[in-house]
Amino acid sequence: MKISVARGDGVGPEMMDAVLEVLEAAGVPLTFEAVEMGAAAVRAGATDGIGAEARRSVESTGVLLKGPMQGATDERCDPVSVAARKLWGTYASKRIYRAVPGVPCEARGRRLSLTLVCDTAEDAAGAIEHVSPQGVAQCRRLISRAGAAQVHRYAFELAARKGATRITCAHRADVMPVTDGVFLEEFYAVARDYPQITADDDLVGSLALRLMSQPDALEVLVAPSLHGDLLGDIAAGLVGGRAYAPSANVGDGIAIFEPVHGPMPELVGRDRANPTALLLSATMMLRHLGLLEPSRRIEAALKWVLHDMHRRPDLAQPIPPFSTSLFVSLMREQLAEAPPRESAAPQRPFPVRLEPKVRALREAAPGEVTGLDVFLESSLPPAAIAEQLAKLGGPARMSALLNRGIEVWPNGSVYTDCIPHYCARFEADAPLPRDAQLALIASVEERFTLSGVEWVRTGEAALRKTA
């Protein structure tokens, strides 16, 4: 079976070479097709860092083993990974955190075995952002019932296979009752199908504290993208750092296996790159393909090698610096001592997809338009804006003016500081005809610079919290 391999940027190629050498030593029955992704692909004209040949390869093999990558101009961020996850529909990121014997870490001595499932398609991962001429940056946060249910279903299935007794949902529904509220509601809706697993939830800040104080009390966490990244970095710190934190990004047709750390260009050519996270991601890939026996052999060898490499030569001497070449050499020695046994043939878990899917929990007829939320840019105070908009004629009247999510007219406070980005809520007593909608938008635009319009439909007004 063939899989696609993107070597990455920075120390990515050195790490990938080390991992492929270990896989070869383990007798893994796979062939590897190299694809160009990352900064080089961006410089070659692929704006998202994913060239046409990489798309063809990954969609053919269904599996991508990927090294750390960076943007064309900023080595701190990895927009290529984000683009790849959204492009290939890998909606759930599975991250496993376990204390590795011999590796100095905060969780040493604890029975930490934590699995974190993050949404990778919605929430902040959508990265739908813009900035207005007035200097107001805005991020549009999308959480759909269908997307949330998909992530939760995956998390509960994973928990059931793991034999977990509890799964916890991280959220901030206290301050984002609509978006995180939908994520939380779907969590408990899916939980009803798994009565053998206790389902509970907690605020992300409280969970961060629990991770630091009682990490062994948590089994499986599920979270939207932004909360999950925060909790994941804390968990990585408990097990020795991101160098020991693997991940799998799983969809219905394609899976991506990669470390969560960056390309670390400062280590290039120094024989100091630690490929453990990428190697553990590769063992997750082997399990995904049904290659359980080589996965177990590599993991067993890895425990011995890391324990040996972190051992002090003498009580008075420091632990020697990590060496990539020594790591590979020791892994080869350990694997040679335990010859491979016959393993099942690898299989692609999902069929090839022929067209995109539109995910929806249920078909719902849109309600009738009863109002508009008109977003506008202005440096005027709320009362001056309201004075102009309240006089507009037509069937819809302005009922509220909001700034940064708080009402500033008619019920405001002189102590509320505003920015030049307002939302004017217009409401009608009856369904608003289309020509009246367009006339209202045009009337506001004659007076102010518009930055967006949203339609308020029957039954939505009480749920909407606007900027």
Q: Is the pLDDT of residue 463 over 50?
A: no
Q: Is the pLDDT of residue 257 over 70?
A: yes
Question: Of 193-202, 350-359, 396-405, where does mean pLDDT reach its minimum?
Answer: 350-359
Determine the average pLDDT of the residues in 66-90: 76
244: how many CB neighbours lie within 10 A of its CB? 23
Determine the average pLDDT of the residues in 5-29: 95
pLDDT band (50, 70, 90) for residue 342? low
Checking phi first, is residue 225 left (phi over 0); if not, alpha (psi -120 to 50) or beta?
Answer: alpha
Determine the average pLDDT of the residues in 280-302: 94
Q: Is the pLDDT of residue 203 over 60?
A: yes
Tell me, letter by letter, the H, E, C secondary structure of the chain. CEEEEECCCCCHHHHHHHHHHHHHHCCCCCEEEECCECHHHHHCCCCCCECHHHHHHHHHHCEEEECCCCCCCCCCCCHHHHHHHHHCCCCEEEEEEECCCCCCCCCCCCCCEEEEEEECCCEEEEEEEEECCCCCEEEEEECCHHHHHHHHHHHHHHHHHHCCCEEEEEECCCCCCCHHHHHHHHHHHHHCCCCCCEEEEEEHHHHHHHHHHCHHHCCEEEECHHHHHHHHHHHHHHCCCHHHCEEEEECCCCEEEEECCCCCHHHCCCCCCCCHHHHHHHHHHHHHCCCHHHHHHHHHHHHHHHHHHCCCCCCCCCCCCCCHHHHHHHHHHHHHHCCCCCCCCCCCCCCCCCCCCCCCCCCCCCCCEEEEEEEEECCCCHHHHHHHHCCCCCCCEEEEEEECCEEEECCCCCCCCCCCCEEEEEECCCCCCHHHHHHHHHHHHHHCEEEEEEEEECCCHHHCCCC
Determine the average pLDDT of the residues in 378-406: 91
Using DSSP's 3-state secondary structure scheme, residue 396 falls into: coil
Q: What is the pLDDT of residue 44?
A: 87
Q: What is the pLDDT of residue 415?
A: 85
- Of the ranges 283-297, 303-317, 342-356, which is most confident? 283-297
What are the pLDDT digits (tens) for 412-423? 888 888 889 999
What residues contact residue 21 under an 8 Å CB cut-off, 6+ apart?
328, 332
**Higher-confidence position of 94 and 391:** 94
Question: Of 96-105, 172-181, 199-208, 324-333, where does mean pLDDT reach its minimum?
Answer: 96-105
Q: What is the pLDDT of residue 298?
A: 96
Query: Which is it for strands 92-98 and 406-409: parallel, antiparallel or unpaired?
Result: unpaired
Determine the average pLDDT of the residues in 75-79: 55
Query: Which is it for strands 137-142 and 2-6: parallel, antiparallel or unpaired?
Result: unpaired
Per the structure block, which two tokens stand in for 198? 């206790």
d(CA 206, CA 40): 41
Q: Which of 216, 223, 264 is nearest to 238 (CA)?
A: 216
Question: Of 54-58, 356-360, 374-378, 401-405, where does mean pLDDT reach its minimum?
Answer: 356-360
Q: Is the pLDDT of residue 310 over 90?
A: no
pLDDT band (50, 70, 90) for residue 439? very high
Q: What is the pLDDT of residue 305?
A: 92
Q: Is 325 exposed, middle or buried (0-12, 13-18, 19+ CB in 10 A)?
A: exposed
pLDDT band (50, 70, 90) for residue 462? very low
pLDDT band (50, 70, 90) for residue 33? very high
pLDDT band (50, 70, 90) for residue 355? low
pLDDT band (50, 70, 90) for residue 354? low
139: how many CB neighbours lie within 10 A of its CB? 12
Determine the average pLDDT of the residues in 333-362: 69
Using DSSP's 3-state secondary structure scheme, residue 73 falls into: coil
Cis peptide before 433 (omega within 30 of 0): no
pLDDT band (50, 70, 90) for residue 219? very high
Q: What is the pLDDT of residue 321?
A: 79
The domains found in the chain, sorted by start residue, are 1-89+253-364 (3.40.718.10), 106-238 (3.40.718.10), 369-463 (3.30.70.1570)
Q: Is the pLDDT of residue 359 over 70?
A: no
Tell me if 138 sits within 8 A of 422, measured CB to CB: no
**What is the DSSP-derived secondary structure letter of residue 244?**
G
Q: Is the pLDDT of residue 332 over 80?
A: yes
Question: Of 134-148, 266-280, 314-328, 381-395, where does mean pLDDT reach its minimum?
Answer: 314-328
Q: What is the pLDDT of residue 171?
A: 97
Determine the average pLDDT of the residues in 421-434: 93
Q: What is the pLDDT of residue 223?
A: 98
Query: Which is it for strands 113-119 and 92-98: parallel, antiparallel or unpaired?
Result: antiparallel
Q: What is the pLDDT of residue 358?
A: 65
pLDDT band (50, 70, 90) for residue 183? very high
Average pLDDT across the chain, whole number: 87
Backbone phi, psi, residue 364, to 5°: -125, 125
pLDDT band (50, 70, 90) for residue 316? low
C-alpha separations of 18 from 75, 276, 283, 327, 332 in Å: 22, 10, 14, 8, 10
Per the structure block, which two tokens stand in for 352? 């090839």
Four-CA torsion 59, 60, 62, 67, nearest 10 degrees: -80
Angle (deg, nearest 10), helices 382-389 and 434-447: 140
d(CA 109, CA 280): 21
Q: Is the pLDDT of residue 216 over 80?
A: yes
d(CA 100, CA 313): 19
